[in-house]
Structure 1
């Protein structure tokens, strides 16, 4: 087994361990509605969804087990960026733009998706998402600042950044953020 394979196996084992611990801890937490103001918080303070023709550039992001490439992105306040996200890993991952506090408040909703069978380790169960939506009034992501991506697939987020503040892009699938799957967004004027 090569060093790279050993490191990958260790990262996967860590993710599974942290995910299991997160599931147990979150089962006692209260749950907000996925897609509500409680999920990523009010996103207007960090920016707003952009239109493809407004994008000044495209930034490609690769998601792996517990890390992103690149690990940080620099943008200007008022700039609209088209993020093309490719999941190169073996698990479902999220790309979400938010503050650390917003990521923390979003965690129980992601856990609810796991508990309802919507988020499986390697895929998103669309039938379970529809069932959850029918019974609870909400299901999958419906915000412009995030996308869930299955292994081997791609997604897109087009975002117009507002003010200079500390932002991150992160994966809020239970256990992933806690194991370090996040990157910094540096905003300048």
Structure 2
């Protein structure tokens, strides 16, 4: 009986960690910021570097973007730093929720079309169609990186 109880306890405690270890928490459905885009329909490529600075800051360069509602954009992202970084694109409240989850599970792997984690020297891309206008965020949610300045803004203007 002790073995069964222990096994159930371990399973119950492990479930949140496993569930968040590689999450796609409904991002396949429509998001306020938009939806995954088709590269062939992209009208703009924005090159973004992620890095640390000599003064201890962590930055996206550039870190502020303006796009149009309905536009499909390719974010061509390169980690030019010496640490692993990520690029997460979402509403500010969702970014903050995700940041809190990352604090609990820092090794969380993303399986979301609006996020990418890159090792130093690596490149990747996110193709995104902005279906709604408004103010949104980009952020690195690896613990400590957001606090070190690794976030920015995406303004989506009406057509």
**Structure 1 residue 109: deviation in Å?**
3.4
Alignment check: 8 A CA contact 2:32 2:91 kept: no
Higher-Rg structure is 2
Report Cα offsets for 1:127-180 as digits up to 9, x if no partner. xxxxxxxxxxxx621111010011011010000011112101110011111222
- Distance in 2 between residues matched to 1:43 and 1:88, nearest whole Å: 32
**1:101 matched to which residue of 2?**
93
- Distance in 2 between residues matched to 1:70 and 1:46, nearest whole Å: 19
User: Which sections of structure 1, spanning at least 5 residues, go unmatched?
Assistant: 1-29, 120-138
**2:138 matched to which residue of 1?**
169
Q: State the TM-score, normalized to the length of structure 1.
A: 0.65
Which structure has greater strand proportion? 2
1:43/1:98 CA distance change after superposition, 3 Å: farther
**1:85 matched to which residue of 2?**
77
Count of aligned pairs between the two proteins: 136
**1:37 matched to which residue of 2?**
25
- Which of 100, 108, 113 is residue 144 of structure 1 equivalent to? 113
- Distance in 1 between residues matched to 2:109 and 2:151, nearest whole Å: 21
**2:129 matched to which residue of 1?**
160
Which structure has greater helix proportion? 1
Task: Show the 5 A alignment for 1:1-189.
Answer: 33=20, 34-37=22-25, 44-65=31-52, 66-114=58-106, 119=107, 140-189=109-158
**Structure 1 residue 110: deviation in Å?**
2.4
1:142/1:43 CA distance change after superposition, 3 Å: farther
- Distance in 1 between residues matched to 2:149 and 2:117, nearest whole Å: 17
Alignment check: 8 A CA contact 1:43 1:98 kept: no
- Distance in 2 between residues matched to 1:36 and 1:62, nearest whole Å: 25
- Distance in 2 between residues matched to 1:63 and 1:146, nearest whole Å: 13
- After superposing on structure 2, the runs of 4+ consecutive aligned residues of structure 1 that deviate more than 3 Å are none
